[in-house]
Structure 1
Amino acid sequence: MSNKVYVDVLAEFTTDGILIPRSLRWKDGTVYEIQRVNDMRRATSLKAGGVGMRYTCMIDDRERHLYYEDNNLWFVEGRA
């Protein structure tokens, strides 16, 4: 069963006001660099629930979804 895993994210705003995540810290303290953001769109997490901006990111050469919720928290879809 999947759930939300809240993570700390280092992000920055571009000069045109777009929020871009640069790295995330997993719950065990490991920091992962976000190599590239392939897509950004408002979306619902079908696996974990919740809605917000979904960032499709390359992390460790694998495509992952990172969500920024309306409550200003970041999460990824995890496994229980």
Structure 2
Amino acid sequence: MRLYKRYVDMIVMTNKEGKLKPLYMIWESREGKESFRIDKILDIRKASSQVGGCGLLYECMIDGKIRNLFYERNRWFIESYHP
């Protein structure tokens, strides 16, 4: 299956040291918006995405699945199977 770069809205906590902690991802579809809680952050590192772009990779557990969220130049994207 082909992966796509999908920009998403995020609810994020920034601590007093300036570190970002994603809390919720907002997914928009034709049916409307749905929020997904970030259950756990497994890893944070600089990385390139398979779909192009690079930045901070947040490997997260979302709804029981491991997903890669990227923070790239003040925006968030996810590697998605849906454009």
The aligned amino acid for 1:56 is E
The aligned amino acid for 1:9 is M
1:68 to 67, 71, 76: 71
**Number of the residue aligned with 2:27:** 26
Q: Give the number of aligned pairs.
A: 78
Q: Which runs of 5+ in 2 are unaligned?
A: none
Q: What RMSD in Å do the two structures reach over aligned CA positions?
A: 1.1
Distance 1:3 1:56 in 2: 17
2:47 to 28, 43, 48: 43
Does 2:59 correspond to 1:53?
no
Stretches of 4+ aligned residues off by more than 4 angstroms: none
**Number of the residue aligned with 1:11:** 12
The aligned amino acid for 2:57 is R
Distance 1:3 1:10 in 2: 21
SS in 1 for 2:28: coil
Q: Which runs of 5+ in 1 are unaligned?
A: none
TM-score of the aligned structures, taking structure 1 as reference length: 0.89
C-alpha displacement of 1:33 = 0.3
- Of all paired residues, the percent bearing the same amino acid is 37
Distance 2:36 2:75 in 1: 17
